[in-house]
Structure 1
Amino acid sequence: MATAATKETEILKTAKDMLAPDYVPNDSEEYMNEKHQAYFRMLLIEWKRSIRDAADQTLQSLQDGPIREADLNDRASSETDWGIELRTRDRQRKLVSKIDAALRRIDEGEYGYCEKTGDPIGLRRLIARPVATMTVEAQEAHERREKISRDD
């Protein structure tokens, strides 16, 4: 685990060295050039780190001790809050695997292109959702097919 974190730190440093502090990809540049890839790599690694930090804080809070409210209503409320917190962490754990997949796609030169059509996903969509794997149109078609098959 330490070596993976060290490697991420090195990758992050390289990406930051390549980009100006206020750099944001734009459409006037060649799509998915080195700067774009460095930008999204940096964005994804920092997002992953923030998720890990939040998970570590949750784990620390859990280890600090059990819920000790004397009032049953307060205790029930605290347990509900913890349940919500743990579900959030589980969703974020799944998000980390999507982030890892996006980082692999960057390394393989596939990042930014729709997995269904091969068309560019688009910078605005990737900035909004860096783990996106499909264009808006392909995603909408996928969701329509999913809804139809679910309704049957």
Structure 2
Amino acid sequence: MANAKKKTAPRADAAGAKGANDDLLTEERIRAMSDDEYMNEAQLAFFRLRLMEQRQEVLEREREIRERLNHRESAADPVDRAATEEERWLDLRLRDRESKLLRKIDAALEGIRNKEYGYCEQTGEPIGIPRLLARPTATLCIDAKDTSEQIQAQYRD
């Protein structure tokens, strides 16, 4: 999901204090970095901030869902009751989805703490900046993800 808004994070390298714009790492700067700089301290700080922001958004959505579930009134009319149950079922599915996303975010943050973030769980290869910018919780490189999806598709058929 592309985000039109530029996300920035404090620069975490030891370059020292500079102007405000020099201390921020943007998507453009991350994309321009060399392969040798992959998952350096500045990039880890950028993704940590992005994941923390995403975590707060998920927690807020979970809170809203919980409020809706707790404050939903039971209707007397069977049609209204059916609609209410459908809404409740959808909210429960949303809550489950948000809970799974929260676990993925927490796992990614743990990977940042362990300096394992950004590397494929299956191959050990870099996941790649473009993929992590699009999906910061990614744990597989594109090749491993494609293989995983092909295997899943075989079992579905």
Using structure 1 for the length normalisation, give the TM-score: 0.78
Identity %: 39
Shift, 1:115, TM fit: 1.2
Which residue pairs with 1:33 in the alignment? 40
Which residue pairs with 2:119 in the alignment? 113
Q: Indicate which of 92, 97, 105 corresponds to 1:91.
A: 97
Which residue pairs with 1:23 in the alignment? 26
Matched residue of 2:31: which SS? coil
Shift, 1:37, TM fit: 0.6
Shift, 1:112, TM fit: 0.5
Which has more helix, going by share of residues? Answer: 1
Structure 2 CA distance for partners of 1:148 and 1:67, relative to 1, 3 Å = same
CA distance in 2, matches of 1:36, 1:54: 27
Shift, 1:38, TM fit: 0.9
Which residue pairs with 2:137 in the alignment? 131
- Would you say how many aligned residue pairs link Structure 1 and Structure 2? 135
CA distance in 2, matches of 1:78, 1:144: 38
CA deviations 1:7-27 (Å, max 9, x no partner) are xxxxxxxx944352x722214
Which residue pairs with 2:58 in the alignment? 51
- Whether the 8 Å CA contact 1:27–1:123 is kept in 2: the answer is no
CA distance in 1, matches of 2:81, 2:105: 36
Q: Which runs of 5+ in 2 are unaligned?
A: 1-7, 12-22
What is the CA RMSD across the aligned residues, in angstroms? 2.1
The amino acid across from 1:84 in the alignment is L
Q: Which runs of 5+ in 1 are unaligned?
A: 1-14
CA deviations 1:75-128 (Å, max 9, x no partner) are 211210121111111111011111111111111111101111111111111111
Using structure 2 for the length normalisation, give the TM-score: 0.76
Structure 2 CA distance for partners of 1:139 and 1:73, relative to 1, 3 Å = same
CA distance in 1, matches of 2:93, 2:137: 20
CA distance in 2, matches of 1:108, 1:98: 15
CA distance in 2, matches of 1:72, 1:148: 42
CA distance in 2, matches of 1:149, 1:71: 43
Structure 2 CA distance for partners of 1:102 and 1:60, relative to 1, 3 Å = same
